[in-house]
């Protein structure tokens, strides 16, 4: 038996790119930079070394998240690794990417109250209670040219997972 599970957090390196397959299936691609900390042998100082990871999200969730996945946004991603090989112009090429199953937004929006977008996963909203369903008249997609409206963070009166005093 083998396990293919990946969890990463980092910043988007570019705006997400939404495309369609020939059959009309939506595919959202984006990149995430994840830092590795290593000690520099010459200076003795700790330095960050980035790893650039390609991520792919399939289906309607990709369409829904595309307006929110912009360069610099901090996210946590859960998914599985997929290795692809192909040949182009006589040269063998390969790529290791993450097939995204869950996305958690970790960046605060510009207003500082809440997070930039809801966490979307197969089970609902990132482990929190299911959000109320919108009436059909309100369920219009966000236009690409507009700025997304802030979404309030989940409220937990006892303690909040997103307290500002957490050191990360």
Its pTM stands at: 0.63
52 beta partners:
33
Give residues with Cβ within 8 angstroms of 90, minimum separation 6.
Answer: none
- The mean pLDDT of 125-150, rounded to a whole number, is 42
pLDDT class for 113, splitting at 50, 70, 90? Answer: very low
d(CA 168, CA 162): 10
User: By the 8 A CB rule, do 150 and 112 touch?
Assistant: no
For 34-38, 56-60, 118-122, 128-132, which range has the lowest pLDDT when averaged over its residues? Answer: 128-132
How far is it, in rounded angstroms, from Cα 100 to Cα 7? 10
Q: Which residue has the higher pLDDT, 66 or 165?
A: 66
Whether residue 56 is predicted with pLDDT greater than 70 in this model: the reply is: yes
Among residues 124, 122, 117, the alpha carbon closest in space to that of 142 is found at 117
What are the structural domains, with CATH classification, of the chain? 6-138 (2.40.50.140)
87 CA to centre of own chain: 29
Please work out, in degrees rounded to the nearest 5, the angle formed at the alpha carbon of residue 32 by the alpha carbons of 30 and 34: 170
For the chain, report the end-to-end CA distance as a whole number of angstroms: 35
Confidence of residue 107 (pLDDT cuts 50, 70, 90): confident
Higher pLDDT, 161 or 129: 161
Please state, in angstroms and rounded to a whole number, the distance separating the CA atoms of residues 103 and 150: 17
Task: Judge contact between 119 and 128, C-beta under 8 A.
Answer: yes
Which of the pair, 75 or 128, is modelled with greater confidence? Answer: 75
Higher pLDDT, residue 51 or 159 = 51
Confidence of residue 138 (pLDDT cuts 50, 70, 90): very low
């Amino acid at each position: 038996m083998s396990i293919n599970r990946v969890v990463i957090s980092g910043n988007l390196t570019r705006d997400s790119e939404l495309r369609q397959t020939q059959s009309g299936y939506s595919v959202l691609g984006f990149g995430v930079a994840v830092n590795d900390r290593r000690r520099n042998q010459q200076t003795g100082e700790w330095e960050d070394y980035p790893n650039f990871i390609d991520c792919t999200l399939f289906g309607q969730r990709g369409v829904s998240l595309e307006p929110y996945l912009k360069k610099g946004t901090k996210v946590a991603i859960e998914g599985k690794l997929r290795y692809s090989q192909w040949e182009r112009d006589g040269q063998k090429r390969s790529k290791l990417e993450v097939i995204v199953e869950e996305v958690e937004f970790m960046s605060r929006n510009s207003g500082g109250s809440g997070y930039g977008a809801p966490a979307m996963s197969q089970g609902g909203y990132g482990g929190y209670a299911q959000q109320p369903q919108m009436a059909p008249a309100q369920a219009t997609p966000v236009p690409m040219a507009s700025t997304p409206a802030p979404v309030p963070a989940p409220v937990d009166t006892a303690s909040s997972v997103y307290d500002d005093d957490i050191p990360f």
